[in-house]
Amino acid sequence: MKSNIFKAFPIIILSGMIFGSNLVVSRYSLGQFPPLAYISLRFLIASIGYLGLYIIIKNRSFPKNPKVIFHACVYGIIGTAIPLSCSVYSMKYLSSGVTSLLITINPVLTVLLAHYTLRDEPLTWFKFLGAMIALLGAALLIFRGETGLSDISGTNWTGYLLMVPVVLGLTLANIYARKFLMETNAMDGAAIRIMISAIVMTPLAFFTDSFHLQNVQTSGIIVLIYVSIVGTFIAFLLNFHIVKKYGATAVSTTTYISPVSATILGALFLNEEITILIIIGMVIIFSGIALMGYAPKNLKSVRHL
């Protein structure tokens, strides 16, 4: 597996940077787009991309199994539509880097919850200790009120509260996918996931009268196209390629790249702060996640909790 990760390293770096840049671009877009309009347009454009794939690829048709469609729709709502919407709103109060760091708690909670919901995902001492360390890093950022934004004085807990459905949604979606979508083709699952998000979010944006686009400039259109095509459509395909060719362990390493990418790009283009506390929190969280992925050679020596 180490050789697989080494071979996949360039594409892992690219995938992680794209996911990190998504947060930076989304925060920039808040200055021009109403959040719901931005989110729905992003999903609509990405959905058109997936529909194009089904047209272009020979011998490839949209899934017709009702169970697959139903489970992928549930997965899309709890794992994409809700988390993405809340994460975009949270960036009114948190920097791209801090938001990305808090999102990394998703695999930590997934490991803890999977122990009680999935038979093949036992919780070992290494996973448990790693999870506790990662949660400690997140707690440090939260209880110290770190926002990564110099223009926000004091702690506004709205941003942290909005991150709760983000992390919980992603965690529950991971568990749900492992229980009901393990045999589903990754491209089909991703396509339905994006399309149902567009179907859910677009009427909501119209209903709330959010499609006021008079403040949108050329730069806003450019970043919308980028986040829709590169950050959503291509990013999911890259993940699909990494999983298929190099395995799940390789794709999980993008967890380390995205927060670094978001933090650096946010500082360069949005004047976000990189404080000592953010760096310490990042190191603690990454250390915990690394420990969670450690498996000793003698598996019998690891006690299941």
pLDDT at res. 32: 93
Global model pTM greater than 0.75 = yes
Sorted by sequence, the CB contacts under 8 Å of residue 268 that are 6+ apart come out as none
List residues bridging with 304 in a β-sheet.
124
Q: To which residue do tokens 């347009």 refer?
A: 41
Among 25, 65, 57, smallest CA distance to 42 is for 25
Q: To which residue do tokens 């004085």 refer?
A: 153
Sorted by sequence, the CB contacts under 8 Å of residue 13 that are 6+ apart come out as 257
pLDDT at res. 280: 95
Sorted by sequence, the CB contacts under 8 Å of residue 122 that are 6+ apart come out as 115, 304
Separation of alpha carbons 112 and 109, rounded Å = 5
pLDDT > 90? residue 144:
no
Please give the share of the chain, as a percent, with pLDDT higher than 70.
88
Query: For residue 253, what pLDDT band results from cuts at 50, 70 and 90?
Result: low
pLDDT > 60? residue 297:
no
pLDDT in tens, 188-226: 888 998 999 999 999 999 888 778 889 999 999 999 999
Pick 290 or 87 by higher pLDDT: 87
Among 61, 56, 44, smallest CA distance to 194 is for 44
Give yes or no for a contact between 106 and 80, defined as CB atoms under 8 angstroms apart: no
pLDDT at res. 154: 61
pLDDT > 60? residue 262:
yes
Query: For residue 256, what pLDDT band results from cuts at 50, 70 and 90?
Result: confident
What amino acid is encoded at 35 in this protein? P
Q: To which residue do tokens 């194009």 refer?
A: 52
Query: For residue 124, what pLDDT band results from cuts at 50, 70 and 90?
Result: confident
| Tokens describing residue 257 | 């790249």
Among 127, 72, 165, smallest CA distance to 252 is for 127
pLDDT at res. 267: 93
pLDDT in tens, 271-284: 999 999 999 999 99
List residues bridging with 208 in a β-sheet.
none
- Looking at mean pLDDT, say which of 34-48, 52-66, 286-300 comes out highest: 34-48
Give yes or no for a contact between 222 and 74, defined as CB atoms under 8 angstroms apart: no
pLDDT at res. 128: 86
What amino acid is encoded at 151 in this protein? D
Cα 178 from chain centroid (whole Å): 17
Please give the share of the chain, as a percent, with pLDDT higher than 90.
47
pLDDT at res. 300: 46
pLDDT > 70? residue 248:
no
pLDDT > 50? residue 3:
no
Average pLDDT over every residue of 146-168: 84
Domain tally for the chain?
A: 1
pLDDT at res. 85: 92
Separation of alpha carbons 138 and 132, rounded Å = 10
The distance between the two most distant Cα atoms of the chain, rounded to a whole number of Å, is 63
Give yes or no for a contact between 212 and 34, defined as CB atoms under 8 angstroms apart: yes
Sorted by sequence, the CB contacts under 8 Å of residue 10 that are 6+ apart come out as none
| Tokens describing residue 228 | 């829709």
CA angle in degrees (0–180, nearest 5) for 82-85-91: 135
Query: For residue 40, what pLDDT band results from cuts at 50, 70 and 90?
Result: very high
Residue 224's domain comprises: 2-301
